[in-house]
């Protein structure tokens, strides 16, 4: 039977609950246990698919086509366990399903209430597909005290009673702030947060205390006394120089040992942390530095490109180099000197996105990379902009663009109206709902055997995750290839372009899919490994 670990947060948001859950999952996995991590999100959106990246960070996409919270990316990167649609639930999805059943008459005239209907649905979600697991880690979004999170806290309180101490454990993540004027750490916010949690009926067994300063033994003892936990269960969590050092840091602080003790597990094998020790050693002792320019439209919030950022770091790990990112707002190119901003870069990456804003700046970045022979990586919209740039400047198609931005004489990119997924035919048009109507999840592709991409993958058949509404128009293939942009990856039926390359360029690749979603520090994605290797070669030329 799976044991459940419920992770809550208090005092303030952004304390790193998701990262802590991912690190703890990795530590339990390093001891040989089978783990799965899930996220409960209290907001009323059915999923984050229609939310702006500047509101909630990136949308992480799973193989089975779910648009989920970015924390699921952490879970995958740290454990290697592929996330599924069943690993992320929102209040919106819970209420949507319950109200659909109510309208259908499933409740047989009964009154539909938060307790038991909403809480039962949350518990059913937590328990689903867990028979083959040793531990299920469930992160509750938001902080204790948020009104929208109360049904989730009530549900896990009930599960704690149902499973008993041998089957359920509560970990509370809090902040221990340092007051500079007083010159001391303050434990009172943690005390109040735990008191509020206990008022709901949940007594945490472990406290993870985030702080910028060392937590003295006296403060640990004080927190333990007032919060009714063992002193050893007050686990300090200081800032780390890399998120990939966090599992080692938590292990040194005794987090995984305390979890096992709380469950009464005394015969657990010692963890094999060699994977994490190697990753941290590579990060701390690089043998070079490369500078990558990321030309996007959400550069004001780095979480909007979280998986992309980490995939570039993974490429650096694979090549033993430090990857320095230069964030460039695409709109700056529309009013500034492109060369001045991109000349210091050893590689240029144009990521995915939606909408016309900044598109001409992205096209300018592609042109600079092509003409100056700087390694270029275009992802999703970045690939589409590479095709538009080639159409305009090497294929002679004046006014070429994408129908996403309006009418064009040469629709190099157009709305995807039909596609196959899960054995079903999906169709959409301009009037369709925005949420969940894209080509989402893992799809296969076939690569040309003599392509740079095939060499990077070491294979000619791949599967990658997608999230987009528009596709490159295969009808323009001959004209684009005549201009030097070659279609080296296609859907199995040959209708949908998946990868484009320039064979006459040192490294020029565009992908319709999002390779960053499958990259991990211990298994860097082949294209990111190859891209950073090309940037390293470029750094030695300048």
pLDDT digits (tens, 9 = 90+) for 266-301: 999 999 999 999 999 999 999 999 999 999 887 777
- Confirm whether 3-279 and 287-539 share one CATH topology: yes
Mean of the pLDDT values across residues 289-314?
A: 91
Question: Which listed residue (404, 464, 516, 525) is catalytic?
Answer: 516
**So what's the pLDDT on residue 540?**
87
Torsion-angle region of 504 (φ positive above 0: left; ψ -120 to 50: alpha; else: beta) = alpha
Sign of CA dihedral 529, 533, 539, 542: negative
Sign of CA dihedral 229, 232, 238, 242: negative
Give the position of tokens 């993974």: 314
Q: For the ranges 15-24, 32-41, 299-308, 404-413, which has the lowest average pLDDT?
A: 299-308
Say how many residues make up the chain: 542
Could you tell me which residues are beta bridge partners of residue 168?
A: 4
Percent of the residues in the chain that have a pLDDT greater than 70, as a whole number = 96
Active site residue 516: yes
Mean of the pLDDT values across residues 461-467?
A: 97
Active site residue 514: yes
Pick the most confident of 6-15, 404-413, 482-491: 482-491
Sheet (strand 461-468) strand order:
322-329, 289-296, 347-350, 376-379, 508-511, 497-501, 486-490, 439-447, 461-468
Q: How far apart are CA 34 and CA 400, in angstroms?
A: 51
Give pLDDT tens digits for 155-170: 999 999 999 999 999 9
Q: How far apart are CA 86 and CA 108, in angstroms?
A: 27
Q: Where are the domains of the chain?
A: 3-279, 287-539
Classify each residue of 6-23 as buried b or exposed e, where b means 16 or more C-beta atoms within 10 Å of its C-beta.
bbbbbbeeebbbbbbbbb
**E runs forming strands in 317-358:** 322-329, 347-350
What does the block give as tokens for 527? 């294209």
Q: How far apart are the first and last CA of the chain?
A: 59
Q: How far apart are CA 22 and CA 17, in angstroms?
A: 9
pLDDT band at 109 (very low <50, low <70, confident <90, very high): confident
Q: How deeply is 406 buried, as exposed, middle or buried, from its count of CB atoms within 10 A (0-12, 13-18, 19+)?
A: exposed
**So what's the pLDDT on residue 422?**
53
Average confidence score pLDDT of the chain: 93
Give the position of tokens 């006014």: 399
Q: How far apart are CA 53 and CA 70, in angstroms?
A: 10
Instruction: Decide if 46 contacts 96 (C-beta within 8 A).
Output: yes
Assigned fold of 3-279: Rossmann fold (3.40.50)
pLDDT band at 433 (very low <50, low <70, confident <90, very high): low
What does the block give as tokens for 48? 């984050």
Question: Which listed residue (380, 387, 389, 410) is catalytic?
Answer: 380
Could you tell me which residues are beta bridge partners of residue 179?
A: 184
Q: How far apart are CA 41 and CA 141, in angstroms?
A: 5
Q: How deeply is 515 buried, as exposed, middle or buried, from its count of CB atoms within 10 A (0-12, 13-18, 19+)?
A: buried
Nearest to 412 by CA among 429, 428, 430, 395: 395
pLDDT band at 56 (very low <50, low <70, confident <90, very high): confident
Q: Are strands 234-238 and 206-211 parallel, antiparallel or unpaired?
A: parallel
Question: Which listed residue (117, 346, 505, 514) is catalytic?
Answer: 514
Active site residue 209: no
Look up the CATH number of domain 287-539: 3.40.50.880
Its pTM stands at 0.93
Q: How deeply is 472 buried, as exposed, middle or buried, from its count of CB atoms within 10 A (0-12, 13-18, 19+)?
A: buried
Q: How deeply is 218 buried, as exposed, middle or buried, from its count of CB atoms within 10 A (0-12, 13-18, 19+)?
A: exposed
What does the block give as tokens for 526? 């082949």
How many degrees, rounded to 5, is the angle at CA 265 between CA 260 and CA 269? Answer: 80
Instruction: Decide if 352 contacts 381 (C-beta within 8 A).
Output: yes
Nearest to 511 by CA among 294, 290, 298, 350: 350
DSSP 270: P
């Amino acid at each position: 039977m799976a044991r459940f670990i419920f992770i809550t947060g208090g005092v303030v948001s952004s304390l790193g609950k998701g990262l802590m859950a991912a690190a703890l999952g990795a530590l339990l996995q390093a001891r040989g246990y089978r783990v799965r991590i899930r996220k409960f999100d209290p907001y009323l959106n059915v999923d984050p698919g229609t939310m702006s990246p500047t509101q909630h960070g990136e949308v992480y996409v799973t193989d089975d086509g779910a648009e989920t919270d970015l924390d699921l990316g952490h879970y995958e990167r740290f454990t290697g366990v592929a996330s599924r649609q069943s690993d992320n639930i929102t209040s919106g999805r819970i209420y949507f399903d319950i109200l659909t059943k109510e309208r259908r008459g499933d409740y047989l005239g009964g009154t539909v209430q938060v307790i038991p209907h909403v809480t039962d649905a949350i518990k059913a979600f937590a328990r689903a597909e867990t028979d083959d697991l040793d531990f299920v880690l469930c992160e509750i979004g938001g902080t204790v005290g948020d009104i929208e999170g109360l049904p989730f806290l009530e549900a896990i309180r009930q599960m704690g009673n149902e499973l008993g101490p041998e089957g359920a454990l509560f970990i509370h993540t809090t902040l221990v702030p340092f007051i500079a004027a007083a010159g001391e750490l303050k434990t009172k916010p943690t005390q109040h947060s735990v008191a509020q949690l206990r008022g709901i009926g949940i007594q945490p067994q472990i406290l993870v205390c985030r702080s910028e300063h060392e937590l003295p033994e006296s403060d640990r003892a004080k927190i333990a006394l007032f919060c009714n936990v063992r002193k050893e269960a007050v686990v300090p969590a200081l800032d780390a120089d890399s998120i990939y050092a966090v599992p080692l840091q938590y292990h040194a602080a005794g987090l995984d040992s305390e979890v096992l003790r709380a469950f009464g597990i005394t015969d657990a094998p010692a963890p094999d942390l060699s994977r994490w020790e190697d990753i941290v050693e590579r990060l701390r002792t690089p043998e070079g530095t490369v500078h990558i320019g990321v030309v996007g439209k959400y550069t004001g919030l780095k979480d909007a490109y979280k998986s992309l950022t980490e995939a570039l770091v993974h490429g650096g790990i694979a090549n033993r180099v430090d990857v320095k990112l230069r964030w460039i707002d695409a709109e700056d190119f529309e009013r500034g000197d492109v060369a001045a901003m991109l000349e210091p870069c050893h590689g240029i990456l144009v990521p995915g996105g939606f909408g016309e804003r900044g598109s001409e700046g992205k096209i300018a970045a592609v042109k600079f990379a092509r003409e100056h022979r700087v390694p270029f990586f275009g992802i999703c919209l970045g690939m589409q902009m590479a095709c538009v740039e080639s159409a305009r400047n090497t294929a002679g198609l004046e006014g070429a663009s994408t129908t996403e931005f309006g009418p064009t004489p040469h629709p190099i990119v157009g709305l995807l109206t039909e596609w196959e997924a899960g054995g079903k035919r999906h169709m959409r048009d301009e009037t369709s709902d925005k949420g969940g109507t894209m080509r989402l999840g893992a799809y296969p592709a076939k690569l040309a055997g003599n392509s740079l991409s095939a060499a990077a993958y070491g294979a000619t058949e791949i599967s990658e995750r997608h999230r987009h509404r528009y596709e490159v128009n295969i009808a323009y293939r001959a004209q684009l290839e005549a201009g030097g942009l070659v279609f080296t990856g296609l859907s199995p039926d040959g209708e949908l372009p998946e990868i484009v390359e320039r064979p006459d360029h040192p490294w020029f690749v565009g992908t319709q899919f999002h390779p960053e979603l499958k990259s991990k520090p211990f298994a860097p994605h082949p294209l990111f490994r190859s891209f950073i290797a090309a940037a390293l070669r470029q750094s030695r030329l300048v």
